[in-house]
Structures are given as C-alpha cells and as structure tokens.
Structure 1
Amino acid sequence: MTHTRSIRKARKRLFIGLISGTCFVVCLLLAALWFVPYLGLANIHPAASWLLGALVVGLIGFVSVAYWGLFLNIVTKRHLPGANRFRGLTVKLFLPVMVLLGRLLGVDKEAIMLSFISVNNELVQAEADRYRPEDVLLLMPHCLQSSKCDRRLTYDINNCKRCGLCPIAGLLDLHDAYGVNLAIATGGTIARRIVVQMRPRLIIAVACYRDLASGIQDAYPLPVFGVLNERPHGPCLDTLVDHTQLVTALHRFLLPEFLEGKAPGTGRTISTAQGASL
C-alpha cells in the first residue's frame, strides 16, 4: 500500500510539473501573438495593437485561472466550482501540450500518460456523484479473456462459461453482486459503440495506459475512472485486473442503498487462478 501511494505521489508531482510548464508555454505563445505583430498593427489602426493585446491578456488570464483551478483541485482533492471544466481543459488542451513538452524534455510518454490517468481519477472522484447500478458501466478489454478461450464475449458477456480460468468469471460475479453493466471491448470503435448503446453516466474502465488515456479523451465529458490492467505475459495477452480497485470504485460511485450488505474489496487480484472466487 505504501509503495502504491508513493507511485501515485510521484505521478502527481510529474503531472503538476508538466502542467505548470505547459501553462507557461501556452501563456508565452499567447504573449508572442501580441508582441510579434505589435510593430506592424499600428500601421493598420492606432488602436489595433492594443485591442489584440487586450484579447491576448484575456486569454492568458483564462489559461492561468484554469491552471490554478486545476492545481488547487489536485492538491486539495476537493470539488471546486467548475471542476468539470478543469478536467475538460486537462483532457482537451493541457494533455496534448504536456506530451509535446515532455517529449522535448525527454520525459517518457508512458510516465506522462500514467500521471494523467492518476490525476483524472482524482478529479473524477472529486466531481462525480453517486449513481444507480444501471448508470454505471464496467468496461473491460478483451485481453482479460483467456487466449485459449473460443467463446465470443464482445456482443454477449453471458456467453462466458465461468470456468474460472480467466478474470471474466470474477467480473461477472461483480456484475451479479452490484447490478452494474459489464461489457468487453476489442478496441476503441467497439468501446464507443457500447457507450452509445448503454448510455452510462459513469464508466469504470480497465485497460493499458495508452487505451485508458485515449478512452478518457474520447468519452469526455462523460466521467471515466481508469484502472490499469496487469500484464504478466506482456501487452494484450492474458492480462489481469486488481479486484480491490474495482470494488473500491464501486463503493465510491454507487448510491449507499445499493451497497448494503456488500463488503469492500479484500485486496486480491482477479487472476486466472482465482477469477471466480471473489
């Protein structure tokens, strides 16, 4: 647990550092938009440069307010006014610039994505309400299914035989116990179609860091709580998922009346050896 907290703190520090640099770069670029043409605009109209300057100052102010709002939201872990907009700016504006800035600074893209997912989860926890089970979707990657299984689960999760040889059986137990929706996606296109069909109000998604980061971006403004899968056999092959994180998330996002008599997670991992035993 201590090691996990240390990882989360490190990811948060990386995110804050990169987003601070991103805000500075964006403000610098906006200032350049005024400074560079300043000498020439006066030839068009005496007030043209000042009008452009006012616009740029306004944009810099907007970016700065958004940055400090996001910064305080991350640090305080409290729901602040406009929290959803802060998350939107992170997803749509700051993340792409952060990746570019990180590349220039030699920061590994995986580390940036992991920090983004970690901060996104905190923002979602701070802003999200509690929901009925039918409004929550557990969205799983197909690589959780055993590579030796020939059952087609993408269109009907109930095709699973619950043999316990992969995590799907344990996930079906969660589906039965909590009443939440459960679906498996083979890629981004299928995932988007599932979301459109089921129309959830919150998604708890399991995937690798790349798919989680892109999925969070695609689903916005729908809140997505991301859980990283475990890849003991490498990417996209017989992956696992931490049972504790899923159950903890369900207890955070479901209405209390739907949690009566259900104990929090035990800390076990839904693996090929214990997939059916929750």
Structure 2
Amino acid sequence: MDSNSSQDIKKKPGKSQKPMFIALLAFSCLILLAAAFLLWWVPYIGLTNIYHGLPLIYGGILAGIILVIMAGIALLISTVVLEREIFLSHKLRGAVVHIVFPLMVLLGRLLGISKERVQQSFVEINNQLVLSLPFKVKPERLLLLMPHCLQNNDCKVRITGDVRNCERCGRCEIKELVELADENDVKLSIATGGTIARRIVVENKPELIIATACERDLTSGIQDSYPIPVYGILNKRPYGPCFNTQVDMGEVKKAMRLFLR
C-alpha cells in the first residue's frame, strides 16, 4: 500500500473532529497547571515549618510529574496535527483509550460539548494512532466485526451464529461483506451487542480488528479490546439507530488493503 492510500483513508468525508479533540487537550493542560499550582501552594506553609527546603523538593517532584504528562499531551497533539508517528507516539494509544477519552468526556460535559461529538473525535484519533502502527497482519489474523443492525430488518435469515447463512439477496450490505471476507480470506463476524462482540474477539484472538458500529458501541469496543488495535468505522443511520444501518464499503476495503500483508 502506497502513501497516497494511507492519506486517503485518513481524510475521510465529513467534518473532522480533530480540532475539538486538540482544544480539549489544550484546556486539560490549563486545568493541569492550575491543579499543580494548588497542590504546591496549599502545603507550602506547612512544609516550610517542617524544613525550609521541603517546598523546593516537593515542587521539583511535582514539576517533574507535570512535565512528563504535558510532554505526552504535546506528543499526542503533534501526532494528530502532523498525521504521522513521532517518537513512538503510537504507544500513547493506551493512554488515549483509558485516560484521555474519559477526561475528554468530562471536559466536554463541562463545556457543553455532546458526548457523541467527543466519541467521534476519539474514534478518529484512535484510528490515526492505529494507522501509525508499523505492522501488517495476515488475513487469518484480521477480524471484520460488524453489528447485526446492518442486516435488513425484514430478513428472516439468522446470521449472528454464522454470517454465511446469508442468502446474498443484496437487500443489505451483508452480501458485500461476506463476498469481501471470502475474497480476502478474512474472518467476518456479526455481533448483537457488546457482550457477544467481546466473546467473538476472545474466541478469534485477532491481531487487528476492523469494526463498524455507532459512536457508543464503537468507543466501548475500542476500550474493551485494548491492547488489540481496532480501526473503527462509524455506521450510517438513515432510518435511525439500530435499524437498517449502513457502512461505507469503500472505507472497509481501503482499511483492509492498508492492513493486510
């Protein structure tokens, strides 16, 4: 896969949520600095009474911790802005998944930003970090994980146990997904919810997952699957949530070409 394909998949249609993510990170830096000042200033008087050099020692330790955290934030912002790995920045994905995202949700709530927008930005940033990973996977180690709501609501065929029960009538995108999986010899599974999705991941032990879902399910799936990299594709909901949803097949194909050996 050439660099142009990599750029194409990063520049998805629709408004990018990266500026909001960067703004929330910058705001968190200000809060961090204010908290650090209070943590130093409040015990200052008491520490001076014990030993005159303690405030300096305490301040140095606190400053070191803050500098490490802010360096990580700066590295993450640089990776997001430049859209490429910088100094092993892909290793920050764990911090983004378990620390940064919950913090962004909290800050977003305080600033009146919807949780859905924060989730969209998280998926976009996570995808960029996954794209920076310096490896490709064999077809048998890639898992396509799709939601059952992609199936046409009027279809009577049960595909959650075995997606190849699909009769390939073409009324929904399951037909294309089955054909795509067969052509590339990759595993395709359909999940009815988070519990089933987690079980599928445990049973298949993939090295990388390409998943489609709504904002809520995709963010929780990325968190639950860590450290397995998940490239997330938000579904389309022309008829509302969980009903005859759709997926951008072009994006699924691009992701597969990029990650497969």
Aligned to 2:160: 154
Please give the alpha-carbon distance, in whole angstroms, between the structure 1 residues aligned to 2:86 and 2:12.
Answer: 26
Residues 28 and 5 of structure 1, relative CA distance in 2, 3 Å threshold: farther
- Give the gaps of 5 or more residues in structure 2: 1-7
Normalising to structure 2: TM-score of the pair?
0.89
Normalising to structure 1: TM-score of the pair?
0.84
Please give the alpha-carbon distance, in whole angstroms, between the structure 1 residues aligned to 2:22 and 2:130.
Answer: 17
Question: What is the CA deviation profile of residues 160-196 of structure 1, one whole-angstrom value per residue up to 9, with x for unaligned ones?
Answer: 2222222111110011011111111111111111111
User: What is the aligned residue count?
Assistant: 252
Please give the alpha-carbon distance, in whole angstroms, between the structure 2 residues aligned to 1:155 and 1:34.
Answer: 58
Aligned to 1:115: 121
Q: Work out whether residues 168 and 174 of structure 2, in 8 Å CA contact, stay in contact via their aligned partners in 1.
A: yes
Please give the alpha-carbon distance, in whole angstroms, between the structure 2 residues aligned to 1:27 and 1:211.
Answer: 33
1:1-16 equivalences under 5 Å are 5=13, 7-8=15-16, 11-16=17-22
Q: Work out whether residues 231 and 238 of structure 1, in 8 Å CA contact, stay in contact via their aligned partners in 2.
A: yes
CA RMSD of aligned residues (A): 1.9
Residues 5 and 155 of structure 1, relative CA distance in 2, 3 Å threshold: closer
Which stretch has the larger CA shift, 244-253 or 125-134? 125-134
Deviation at 1:159, TM superposition (A): 2.0
Which stretch has the larger CA shift, 30-39 or 182-191? 30-39
Question: What is the CA deviation profile of residues 223-252 of structure 1, one whole-angstrom value per residue up to 9, with x for unaligned ones?
Answer: 111101111110001111111000010111
- Identical aligned residues as a percent: 45
Please give the alpha-carbon distance, in whole angstroms, between the structure 2 residues aligned to 1:79 and 1:26.
Answer: 25
Aligned to 2:23: 17
Q: Work out whether residues 144 and 237 of structure 1, in 8 Å CA contact, stay in contact via their aligned partners in 2.
A: yes
Find out whether 1:96 has 2:102 as its counterpart. Answer: yes
Please give the alpha-carbon distance, in whole angstroms, between the structure 1 residues aligned to 2:53 and 2:197.
Answer: 51
Residues 43 and 191 of structure 1, relative CA distance in 2, 3 Å threshold: farther
Please give the alpha-carbon distance, in whole angstroms, between the structure 2 residues aligned to 1:25 and 1:226.
Answer: 30
Q: Work out whether residues 90 and 132 of structure 2, in 8 Å CA contact, stay in contact via their aligned partners in 1.
A: no
Aligned to 1:251: 257
Find out whether 1:226 has 2:232 as its counterpart. Answer: yes
Please give the alpha-carbon distance, in whole angstroms, between the structure 2 residues aligned to 1:201 and 1:63.
Answer: 29
Aligned to 2:71: 65
Please give the alpha-carbon distance, in whole angstroms, between the structure 1 residues aligned to 2:230 and 2:140.
Answer: 16
Deviation at 1:29, TM superposition (A): 2.1
1:116-195 equivalences under 5 Å are 116-195=122-201
Please give the alpha-carbon distance, in whole angstroms, between the structure 1 residues aligned to 2:198 and 2:134.
Answer: 21
- Give the gaps of 5 or more residues in structure 1: 256-278
Which stretch has the larger CA shift, 191-200 or 78-87? 78-87
AA aligned to 2:150 is L
Please give the alpha-carbon distance, in whole angstroms, between the structure 2 residues aligned to 1:21 and 1:153.
Answer: 46
Deviation at 1:70, TM superposition (A): 0.6
Question: What is the CA deviation profile of residues 38-80 of structure 1, one whole-angstrom value per residue up to 9, with x for unaligned ones?
Answer: 2223445555444432332121011111011111111222222
DSSP 3-state at the match of 1:149: coil
Please give the alpha-carbon distance, in whole angstroms, between the structure 2 residues aligned to 1:177 and 1:58.
Answer: 53
1:210 paired residue among 200, 216, 224: 216
Aligned to 2:4: none
Q: Work out whether residues 128 and 253 of structure 1, in 8 Å CA contact, stay in contact via their aligned partners in 2.
A: no
Q: Work out whether residues 140 and 206 of structure 1, in 8 Å CA contact, stay in contact via their aligned partners in 2.
A: yes
Find out whether 1:31 has 2:31 as its counterpart. Answer: no
